[in-house]
Amino acid sequence: MTATTNTTDADFQADVLDSATPVLVDFWAQWCGPCHQIAPVLEQIAAERAGSLKVVKINSDENPVTGAGYRVLGLPTLLVFDKGELVLELRGARPKAALDRELNKVLS
């Protein structure tokens, strides 16, 4: 079982913006090498922070509207939302320690 979930343009409002829990959204695509590199790290973060952070993936090719709305121009792009507000934008793959540091700054 995976710790991350998937969302779509249609479900983004309910899954992310209306979430009572902070949400990290991973904008990715099948062809994106760095997206596949960061996926296991995001699974780890989702498992470690279960209950305090949701990790949601959205395929940018299949769901172009949401990415365009947030000006996602490169992949992977990670956006963190808290109470529907965008609180953190990270572009490109990063090691887990760097992601944890950035998340701790906005979620503590």
pLDDT in tens, 55-88: 999 999 999 999 999 999 999 999 999 999 999 9
Catalytic annotation, pick one of 23, 24, 25, 35: 35
Which segments within the chain are labelled E, that is strand?
5-6, 23-28, 54-59, 77-82, 85-91
Banded model confidence at residue 2, pLDDT cuts 50, 70, 90: confident
State the pTM of this model. Answer: 0.96
35 is catalytic: yes
Catalytic annotation, pick one of 16, 24, 25, 32: 32
The amino acid present at 31, given as its one-letter code, is: W
The predicted pLDDT at position 87 comes to 97
14 is catalytic: no
Task: Find the domain containing 56 and state its range.
Answer: 5-107
How many whole angstroms from its chain centre is CA 33? 16
Q: How many domains does the chain have?
A: 1
The predicted pLDDT at position 49 comes to 96
State mean pLDDT over 42-65: 97
CATH value at residue 45? 3.40.30.10
Tokens of 60: 């940018």
Is residue 1 predicted with pLDDT exceeding 70? no
Q: What percent of the chain has pLDDT over 70?
A: 99
